[in-house]
Structure 1
Amino acid sequence: MSIESLLEAARGSPRDAGRVELIVVRLPGEGRATPPEARLSVDGGLDGDRWVLDSGADPAKQVSLINSRVLDVLAAPGRGRELAGDNLVVDLDLHEENLPPGARLRVGAAAIEVTAHPHQSCSRFQRRYGQEANEAALGPAGLAQRLRGVYARVVRGGLVRVGDPIAVTSRPGRREARPR
Structure 2
Amino acid sequence: MTATATELTAALDHLRAAPAAEGTLALVVRRPAVDQREILAEGRLDPADGLVGDNWLSRATSHAIAEGRHLEAQLNVMSARMVALLAERPEEQALAGDQLFVDLDISHTNLPTGTRLAIGDPDAGGAVIEVTKKPHNGCAKFRARFGDDAVAFVNSEEGKELRLRGFNARVVQPGSVRPGDPVRKL
Fold-level similarity (TM above 0.5)? yes
* 2:140 maps to which of 120, 123, 135: 123
Q: Deviations over 1:99-145 (max 9, x none)?
A: 00000100120001100100011111000000000011111011001
Identity of aligned residues (%): 37
List alignment gaps of at least 5 residues for structure 1: 170-180
**Where do residues 40-119 of structure 1 align in structure 2 (5 Å cutoff)?**
40-56=45-61, 58-76=70-88, 80-108=92-120, 109-119=126-136
Q: Is the 8 A contact 2:19 2:103 kept in 1?
A: yes
Deviation at 1:29, TM superposition (A): 2.0
1:13 aligns with 2:25: no
TM (norm. structure 2) is 0.86
**1:79, 1:129 within 8 Å by CA — same for their partners in 2?**
no
What is residue 182 of structure 2 aligned with on the other side? Answer: 165
**Aligned AA (2:85):** V
Alignment-mate amino acid for residue 19 of structure 2: P
Q: Which runs of 5 or more structure 2 residues have no equivalent in the other structure? A: 121-125
Q: Indicate whether 1:31 and 2:36 are aligned.
A: yes
Match of 2:151 in 1: 134
* TM-score normalised over the length of structure 1: 0.89
CA contact (8 A) 2:32 2:53 kept: yes
| Cα distance in structure 2, aligned partners of 1:150 and 1:5 | 23
Q: What stretches of structure 1 move > 4 A for 4+ residues in a row?
A: 76-79
The alignment covers a number of residue pairs equal to 169
Per the alignment, in what secondary structure is the counterpart of residue 24 of structure 1?
Answer: strand
CA distance in 2, matches of 1:8, 1:132: 18
Give the one of 129, 133, 153 matched to 2:170: 153
Letter in 2 for 1:94: I
Whole-angstrom distance in 1 between the partners of 2:11 and 2:184: 22
Aligned equivalents of 2:12, 2:136: Cα separation in 1? 17
